[in-house]
């Protein structure tokens, strides 16, 4: 048996123990893809589901920092087997960031090397039985997210967008990309949707509003909901405490809870 088929068998074994594999996509970077992935992982695990978070955004692996575990390292559990980093009892994470010597140095591996590492994240990591594997994929619809999607046979996708037209154009591409890959599209999340003025409490639509809902309707996919712009989200991300647990009473956390309900409802219907 050659080495490749051996690796393939290991990947298949891992995948057989993971019920749902969800890719978080965005048409472009900076729209809150990692923020959504991190908080989704936390929110699902708080519902007593077993969750793994896989950060394969090669050039911006921020998940570990957002979860406060960026200084952890992957530990070997015997030959060719690696333990994921435990965030809580029900939540573990594997990130490209754990392989970097220095946080400030960009990853400059060439394509095949990167893909080999991603394959190991599936074949060699002992994820165990998971209800959900949430994957933070590279932004956009180019070569890199495509290779990731081909390597990780996902079962579903979520698309994160911001409300302005330029971002929406990219999101249309992201929805079509997920369709071409035959993924079940859970829906579109509109992030950074309206800022609540800390002084008067009124909503300021910095980036317009409602665009995510419009493209979801236009493309015939579910609109999962809006997450407002909230300075506490930046604080929480920077301090390694996902906003969903950082401030459960905030409008953003409440909106996010409803989004998670919708995702779980969609799943139970299939």
Ligand X SMILES: Nc1ncnc2c1ncn2[C@@H]1O[C@H](COP(=O)(O)OP(=O)(O)O)[C@@H](O)[C@H]1O
The footprint of ligand X (CB under 6 A) covers: 26, 29-35, 60, 62, 139, 191-192, 227, 229-230, 233-234, 237
Cβ atoms of 90 and 45 closer than 8 Å? yes
The interface with Mg ion within residues 7-46 (CB under 5 A) comprises 34
Specify the 3-state DSSP secondary structure of 204: strand
Helix axis angle, 33-46 to 231-238, nearest 10°: 80
Residue number with CB closer to ligand X (14 or 34): 34
74: CB partners within 8 A, 6+ apart: 82, 83, 84, 85, 94, 98, 99, 125
Residue number with CB closer to ligand X (134 or 227): 227
Residue number with CB closer to Mg ion (63 or 115): 63
Residue number with CB closer to Mg ion (11 or 85): 85
Q: Which does 263 bind (CB under 5 to 8 A by kind): ligand X, Mg ion, none?
A: none
The least distance separating Mg ion from the CB of residue 194, rounded to whole angstroms, comes to: 22
The interface with Mg ion within residues 69-108 (CB under 5 A) comprises none
CB atoms within 10 A of CB 200: 8
Segment contacting Mg ion (CB under 5 A): 7-15, 56-64, 153-161, 220-228? 56-64
The least distance separating ligand X from the CB of residue 248, rounded to whole angstroms, comes to: 16
210's tokens: 């409602």
Interface ranges with Mg ion (CB under 5 A): 34, 57, 60, 62
């Amino acid at each position: 048996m050659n080495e490749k088929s051996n690796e393939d068998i290991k990947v298949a074994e891992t995948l057989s123990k993971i019920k749902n594999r969800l890719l978080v996509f965005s048409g472009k970077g900076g729209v809150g893809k990692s923020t959504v992935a991190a908080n989704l992982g936390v929110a699902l695990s708080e519902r007593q589901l077993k969750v793994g978070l896989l950060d394969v955004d090669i050039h911006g692996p921020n998940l570990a920092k957002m979860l406060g575990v960026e200084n952890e390292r992957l530990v070997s559990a015997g030959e060719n087997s690696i333990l994921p980093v435990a965030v809580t009892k029900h939540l573990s994470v594997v990130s490209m960031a754990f392989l970097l010597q220095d946080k400030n140095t960009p990853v400059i591996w060439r394509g095949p090397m990167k893909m080999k590492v991603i394959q190991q994240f599936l074949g060699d990591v002992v994820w165990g039985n998971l209800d959900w594997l949430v994957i933070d994929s590279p932004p956009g619809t180019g070569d890199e997210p495509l290779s990731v999607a081909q390597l990780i046979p996902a079962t579903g996708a979520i698309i994160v967008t911001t409300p302005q037209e330029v971002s929406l154009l990219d999101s249309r591409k992201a929805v079509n990309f997920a369709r071409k890959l035959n993924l079940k599209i859970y829906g579109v999340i509109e992030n950074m949707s309206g800022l609540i003025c800390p002084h008067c409490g009124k909503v300021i639509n910095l980036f317009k509003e409602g665009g995510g809902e419009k493209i979801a309707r236009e493309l015939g996919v579910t609109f999962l909901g809006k997450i407002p712009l909230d300075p506490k989200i930046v604080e929480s991300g920077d301090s390694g405490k996902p906003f969903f647990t950082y401030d459960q009473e905030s409008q953003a956390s409440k909106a996010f809870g409803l989004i998670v309900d919708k995702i779980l409802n969609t799943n139970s219907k299939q």
